[in-house]
Amino acid sequence: MSAIRTRGLRRTFGPLAAVEDLHLDIAEGEIFGLVGPDGAGKTTTMRMLTGLLRPTGGTAEVAGCDVVRHAGRLKEHIGYMSQRFGLYPDLTVLENLVFYADIYGVPARGRAEKIDRLLGFSNLTPFQQRFAGDLSGGMKQKLGLACALIHTPRVLFLDEPTNGVDPVSRRDFWRILYQLVREGVTIFVSTAYLDEAERCNRLALLHRGRLLGLGTPDEVKALMPGALLEVRTPAPRRTASLLRERLAGAAVGLFGDRVHVATRDIPATEAAIRRLVAEADLELLSLRPIEPSLEDVFVSVLATKEAADAR
């Protein structure tokens, strides 16, 4: 049985379609990533799947519960950590966990053992008497996760859980998620970090409420037509702007001090890049084919879609 299943899921706000015709099947025990920029519809999708927002159309089932007809029962089976999870800064780590245990109606019998396990699980045992307001960003996220797990949910929803968190804390957070999956929890996580999305078993690329791609990270990477060239010059922003303007039929993205160009015709594109860079009186430091990242794929697929929509 699917842990999460949607068919034609839709949500509008006036004339704006925030989510349109979303079809998903997510297996039990899977880490599934919903990937897209701000405004893509990730939070709207998650709020519908957790029963907090009524869909305009379509259907969705989570843990066997229809998100509209069984919204009350659904909450017994899910954990939800929103972008601004409601920790209480004037309560200690331990007091926050006890408070959420009370909210979820966790029985007194076995509660202390469960809290101890979650403290150890999230490496918060040494900090259990510290006020939540005094925790670092990464530790707050771990406490939020522990609070969302206090009632042992079957499906865990995480809305951009590592946004603004340092790289070490992000790594630790994902280590905890992998432990949860080994225990049979299904995890639905949204993220704008495309490097992070590669950690998921499967993922969906979302843009303006519509699905652009779905599959394993390798399957999604295969959606990019052609190949990828990396261009390095002393002026990457100027180079990216130049290539976007003058290089027809290619998707151009700026990645730090490198420019990535997706193309179906490597020899012709290489020749055009060398000519354009020389005409702009720029030094070409290097030009080489590389393996695409998910971010490259997203830029390429999005450019292809926008070009098709413009026709």
Query: What angle in degrees, to the nearest 10, is found between the helix axes of 137-148 and 93-103?
Result: 30
Q: Which domain holds residue 246?
A: 227-291
State whether 75 and 212 are in the same domain. Answer: yes
Q: What is the pLDDT of residue 59?
A: 97
Q: In this structure, are 127 and 268 located in the same domain? A: no
Give the contacts of 175 (CB within 8 A, at least 6 positions apart): none
CATH number of the domain at 254, please. Answer: 3.30.70.100
Distance CA(123)–CA(61), nearest Å, equals: 33
Beta bridge partners of 5: 25, 61
Of the candidates 26, 28, 5, 60, the one whose C-alpha atom is nearest the C-alpha of residue 215 is 26
Task: Indicate whether 62 and 85 sit together in one domain.
Answer: yes
pLDDT of residue 310: 59
- Which residues lie across from 79 on neighbouring strands? 156
pLDDT at 196: 83
Residue 211 and residue 245 in one domain: no
pLDDT averages per 10-residue partition of the chain, 311 residues: 94 95 96 90 95 96 95 91 84 95 91 92 93 91 91 92 81 88 93 84 93 91 85 96 90 91 91 96 95 80 68 59
Together in a domain, 114 and 35: yes
Answer yes or no: is 138 within a domain: yes
Q: What is the pLDDT of residue 311?
A: 59
CA Rg value for the chain: 22
**pLDDT the model gives residue 86:** 80
Asked, for residue 298, whether it belongs to a domain, the answer is no
Tell whether 107 and 232 lie within a shared domain. no
3-state DSSP call for residue 288? Answer: strand
Q: 300 in a domain, yes or no?
A: no
- The pLDDT value recorded for residue 243 is 96
pLDDT of residue 162: 84
**202-207, strands of its sheet edge to edge:** 78-81, 155-159, 186-191, 31-35, 202-207, 210-215
Specify whether 248 is located in the same domain as 139: no
**Total domain count for the chain?**
2
- In this prediction, residue 246 carries a pLDDT of 93
* Alpha carbons 186 and 71: distance in angstroms, whole number: 18
Q: Look at residue 305 and tell me if it is in a domain.
A: no
Q: Is residue 62 part of a domain?
A: yes
